[in-house]
C-alpha cells in the first residue's frame, strides 16, 4: 500500500549563514579572552575534519576560562539572516501546511540556544546536528553526528544520508510530502539537494558555495540537477515563493 501524501510541504533549513547570518563556529571565538585563536591551533585544521577541529577549539576555549554560559550568550546574540525573522514568523502562522526540520554541521547546544532566544525553537520538528553539551568541567563538549561513506562530505556528517533516512522514517509512519523545499548555502548543502526531484525546490544563498556547485553542475551536465532553483540574498525571496505556493495549492 502506497503511503498517503501529507498536505504538508517539508521545509529543510541549514543553520550557519542560512538561518543565521554568520558562521556560528567562527562566532564563538568572540568568547575567547583575546577574541582570537592562536595560530598553532588554526594550523591544525584539515579539510573534511572540521568537527575534530571544533572539538579542539572548544577545549582551548574551556582551558582559557570560557564557560558554557559565555558560549550561550554568543549563540543567543547571533543575528538572523536578512528577512529571516519575517519568514519564520510566517511559517509559525502556517504550521498546518509545513513540516520543518533543520540539518546543520554546527552543534545542538548552539542551535537550540539561538532558536530559543529568537523565539522559534518550537517551529522545528527535528534538529539534526553534532551532539554537544556541557561536560563536568563546564566546557562545551562536541561529538560527530554519525559515520557515513559519502566521499563528498566531511567525515562526521552527510546531510544527504540524514535527509534520506528522515524521509524513509516518515514514509514508514505513512507520511510523504507534496514538495521538498531545501534552504542552504554551503558546499555540504549541495549533496542533499541532489536528492530533490523536479517537483522540489532548492533555495541556495546567492553566490555561496551551494549556489556555485549547482551552477557548475548545470554548466558541465545541463539538466542533471533536478530541482527547481530559486537563489536568494534575502529570505524575502523565500517568503514570497511560499506565499505564492500556498495561494496556488
Q: Cβ(88)–Cβ(112) under 8 Å?
A: no
**63 part of the active site:** no
CATH of domain 9-22+80-130+148-248: 3.40.50.1000
Looking at per-residue pLDDT, the higher value among 152 and 158 belongs to: 158
Helix (H, G, I), strand (E, B) or coil at 43: coil
Residue 189 assigned as binding residue: no
Q: Tally Cβ neighbours within 10 Å of residue 244.
A: 10
Mean pLDDT of 61-79: 96
pLDDT digits (tens, 9 = 90+) for 197-218: 999 999 999 999 999 999 999 9
Please, which residues bridge with residue 222 across strands? Answer: none
State the pLDDT confidence band at 5, using cuts at 50, 70 and 90. low
Q: Tally Cβ neighbours within 10 Å of residue 131.
A: 12
Residue 25 assigned as binding residue: yes
Catalytic residue among 14, 70, 96, 200: 14
Whether 92 shows a pLDDT value over 90: the answer reads: yes
Q: Look at residue 152 in the predicted model and tell me its pLDDT.
A: 85
Domain boundaries, the chain: 9-22+80-130+148-248
pLDDT digits (tens, 9 = 90+) for 125-142: 999 999 999 999 989 999
pLDDT digits (tens, 9 = 90+) for 231-241: 999 999 999 99
Q: Cβ(5)–Cβ(176) under 8 Å?
A: yes
**16 part of the active site:** yes
Residue 105 assigned as binding residue: yes
Query: What contacts 13, CB < 8 A, 6 or more positions away?
Result: 19, 100, 101, 102, 103, 124, 183, 184
Identify the CA nearest to 45 among candidates 27, 64, 26, 61. Answer: 26
Q: Look at residue 83 in the predicted model and tell me its pLDDT.
A: 98
Q: Look at residue 156 in the predicted model and tell me its pLDDT.
A: 87
Whether 112 shows a pLDDT value over 90: the answer reads: yes
Whether 1 shows a pLDDT value over 50: the answer reads: no
State the pLDDT confidence band at 4, using cuts at 50, 70 and 90. low
Catalytic residue among 16, 63, 135, 200: 16
* Cell numbers standing for residue 103: 540539518
Supply angle C-alpha 41, 42, 47, rounded to 5: 120
Backbone torsions φ then ψ of 140, nearest 5 degrees? -85, 115
d(CA 81, CA 94): 20
Looking at per-residue pLDDT, the higher value among 154 and 177 belongs to: 177
Looking at per-residue pLDDT, the higher value among 152 and 63 belongs to: 63
Query: What contacts 29, CB < 8 A, 6 or more positions away?
Result: 35, 36, 37, 57
Amino acid at each position: 500500500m502506497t503511503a498517503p501524501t501529507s498536505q504538508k510541504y517539508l521545509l529543510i533549513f541549514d543553520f550557519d549563514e542560512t538561518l543565521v547570518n554568520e558562521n556560528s563556529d567562527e562566532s564563538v571565538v568572540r568568547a575567547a579572552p583575546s577574541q582570537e585563536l592562536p595560530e598553532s591551533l588554526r594550523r591544525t585544521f584539515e579539510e573534511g575534519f572540521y568537527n575534530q577541529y571544533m572539538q579542539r577549539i572548544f577545549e582551548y576555549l574551556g582551558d582559557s576560562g570560557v564557560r558554557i554560559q559565555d558560549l550561550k550568550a554568543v549563540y543567543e546574540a547571533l543575528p538572523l539572516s536578512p528577512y529571516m525573522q519575517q519568514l519564520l514568523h510566517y511559517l509559525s502562522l502556517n504550521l498546518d501546511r509545513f513540516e520543518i526540520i533543520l540539518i546543520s554541521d554546527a552543534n545542538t547546544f548552539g542551535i537550540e540556544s539561538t532558536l530559543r532566544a529568537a523565539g522559534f525553537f518550537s517551529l522545528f520538528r527535528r534538529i539534526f546536528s553534532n551532539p554537544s553539551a556541557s561536560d563536568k568541567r563546564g566546557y562545551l563538549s562536541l561529538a560527530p553526528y554519525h559515520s557515513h561513506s559519502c566521499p563528498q562530505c566531511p567525515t562526521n556528517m552527510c546531510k544527504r544520508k540524514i535527509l534520506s533516512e528522515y524521509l524513509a522514517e516518515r514514509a514508514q509512519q505513512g507520511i510523504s510530502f507534496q514538495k521538498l523545499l531545501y534552504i542552504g548555502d554551503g558546499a555540504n548543502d549541495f549533496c542533499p539537494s541532489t536528492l530533490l526531484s523536479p517537483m522540489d525546490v532548492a533555495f541556495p544563498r546567492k553566490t555561496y558555495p551551494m549556489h556555485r556547485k549547482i551552477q557548475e553542475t548545470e554548466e558541465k551536465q545541463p539538466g542533471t540537477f533536478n530541482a527547481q532553483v530559486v537563489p536568494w540574498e534575502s529570505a524575502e525571496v523565500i517568503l514570497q515563493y511560499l506565499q505564492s505556493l500556498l495561494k496556488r495549492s
